[in-house]
Amino acid sequence: MTQITREDCAKLDAADPLAPFRDEFVLPDGVIYLDGNSLGALPKAAPGRVADLIEREWGRDLVKSWNTAGWWDKPRTLGAKLAPLVGAAPHEVVVGDGTSANLFKAVIAALRLAPDRRVVVGETGNFPTDLYITQGAVELMGATERRVDPDGPELAEALAAGDVAAVLLSHVDYRTGALRDMAGITRMVHDSGALMIWDLCHSVGAVPIELSAWGADFAVGCTYKYLNAGPGAPAFSYVAERHHATARQPLSGWHGHARPFDFTGDYVPVDTASRFLSGSQPLVADAALEASLDLFARVDMRRVREKSVAMTEMFIDLTAPAGLGLVTPRDAERRGSQVALSHPDPEAGYPTVQALIARGVIGDFRAPDVLRFGFTPLYLRYVDVFDAATALVEVVRTGEWRDPRFAERAQVT
């Protein structure tokens, strides 16, 4: 097989239907950004939206904006804009709170829907907050947690016990980048009588998702990764319509009430996904999210997926000479929009990522030994993939990472 050249990559960029989107993002000179799976780049439309909210909606129109600027309904209007990205009906998604809080609501709502089953199954390698929140939720509910490797036979074994209320899995594994068969797993979980909660943090905005068609009961996801909504941007909750009248989440605040402006003393949840809301939302942050979702409204997710697969495939091929271990599944069908590599020397992973950052190639490191590179088809070019892969091979081959300045650990890795 002949290796792809930089000229080949430039030709692919020239023919790329998504290429114009790059100009809609702020991207610093000299940086190849392969960390959009951690914090997406800034859409150029976002600062203007945020400024408008602050200066006009807040500064001039003051409290009237709850009605005139649609502040009260923002969790629902943003949910409706996000819904097509996850294959949901507009009224099944609400934007609000953070992923951790929304996980807590979903796990407890699922346990309450299955009072005779007391086990929540999670995955051993999930992002820690999913594990910690599950621990907190089961403790509160007098339930127990079981952890499995969902990519092997353990999940089916756990379900066979017949005591599982709910399963919580990530659609794409944050560390390995493995993409799960949402339809097949959800079917298996339902066949056992349990409910299915999906965490979409590493798939929404990167991978086509069909929550309704694939039968999910609940889902959560964050918006600051592939959805480019900015640091600490609010998360979302998906609640399948069949649970709108019955799912009871524990943070029963006034925004989830059927008639919030009656100001009565008793909680009566509304019969929509809005019952997963709690209190007032960060509307300034919502403005940045809205700018990003309006951009995504013009994006064909199938094209995003095609380009993402082409880019991860290319990066895997081009970095092969570095001799690193491939942590991400080799089969593109089972891969999200990232490539995870491991260095044979466990001490080398972190400094290798730092040496790359010094060269302007920004990826990240996830303990214990994963070098993680995210691919965001809306603002990355094929030539960027080529240059990043070339830099990685050089850093590993030359031992550039051994420079002591790359070993110093920052607070956030």
Ligand X SMILES: *Cc1c(COP(=O)(O)O)cnc(C)c1O
201 binds ligand X (CB under 6 A): yes
Please indicate if the annotation marks 274 as binding a ligand: no
Our answer to whether residue 224 is catalytic in this structure is yes
Dist CA 87 CA 192 (whole Å): 24
Closest CA to 348 of 331, 328, 371, 364: 371
Stated as kind and residue range, the H or E segment containing 325 is strand 325-326
98 binds ligand X (CB under 6 A): yes
If DSSP codes are grouped into helix, strand and coil, which group holds residue 2?
coil
Our answer to whether residue 104 is catalytic in this structure is no
Strands 195-199 and 236-239: unpaired
Q: Over the Cα atoms of the chain, what is R_g?
A: 22
Closest CA to 363 of 383, 347, 336, 385: 385
Our answer to whether residue 381 is catalytic in this structure is no
Backbone angles phi and psi of 222, in degrees to 5: -105, 165
Backbone angles phi and psi of 144, in degrees to 5: -130, 160
Assign 3-class secondary structure to 338-369. Answer: EEEEECCCCCCHHHHHHHHHHCCEECEEECCC
Dist CA 109 CA 324 (whole Å): 43
Please indicate if the annotation marks 127 as binding a ligand: yes
199 binds ligand X (CB under 6 A): yes
Our answer to whether residue 236 is catalytic in this structure is no
Q: Which of 225, 275, 335, 366 is catalytic?
A: 225
35 binds ligand X (CB under 6 A): no
Please indicate if the annotation marks 294 as binding a ligand: no
Our answer to whether residue 117 is catalytic in this structure is no
Backbone angles phi and psi of 124, in degrees to 5: -50, -40
Stated as kind and residue range, the H or E segment containing 74 is helix 74-86
Task: Please identify, among the stretches 26-34, 126-134, 257-265, 268-276, the one whose residues bind ligand X according to the rule CB under 6 A.
Answer: 126-134
Residue from 130, 364, 369, 384 touching ligand X (CB under 6 A): that is 130
Closer to ligand X by CB, 65 or 203: give it. 203
Across-strand partners of 43? 25
Interaction mask 162-181, ligand X, x per CB under 6 A: --------x---x-------
222 binds ligand X (CB under 6 A): yes
99 binds ligand X (CB under 6 A): yes
Across-strand partners of 269? 257
Closer to ligand X by CB, 170 or 308: give it. 170
Residue from 33, 71, 127, 276 touching ligand X (CB under 6 A): that is 127
- Torsion sign over Cα 266, 267, 272, 274: positive
Backbone angles phi and psi of 316, in degrees to 5: -65, -45
Please indicate if the annotation marks 246 as binding a ligand: no
Residue from 47, 70, 100, 402 touching ligand X (CB under 6 A): that is 100
Please indicate if the annotation marks 129 as binding a ligand: yes
Closer to ligand X by CB, 199 or 217: give it. 199
Total chain residues near ligand X (CB under 6 A): 13
Q: Which of 21, 25, 33, 127 is catalytic?
A: 127
Q: Which of 22, 76, 372, 381 is catalytic?
A: 372
If DSSP codes are grouped into helix, strand and coil, which group holds residue 229?
coil
Q: Cβ of residue 331: shortest distance to ligand X, in angstroms?
A: 22
Q: Cβ of residue 101: shortest distance to ligand X, in angstroms?
A: 7
Please indicate if the annotation marks 84 as binding a ligand: no
Q: Looking only at residues 271 through 290 of this chain, which bind ligand X when binding is defined by CB under 6 A?
A: none
Residue from 8, 70, 125, 129 touching ligand X (CB under 6 A): that is 129
- The end-to-end CA distance of the chain, in Å, is 36
Q: Are 339 and 365 within 8 A, CB to CB?
A: no
Q: Cβ of residue 222: shortest distance to ligand X, in angstroms?
A: 5
Max CA distance (Å), the chain: 72
Please indicate if the annotation marks 144 as binding a ligand: no
Annotated binding site: 99-100, 127-130, 199, 202, 224, 254
- Residue ranges in contact with ligand X by CB under 6 A: 98-100, 127, 129-130, 170, 174, 199, 201-202, 222, 235
Q: Which amino acids are annotated catalytic?
A: 127, 199, 224-225, 372
Annotated binding site for pyridoxal 5'-phosphate: 99-100, 127-130, 199, 202, 224, 254
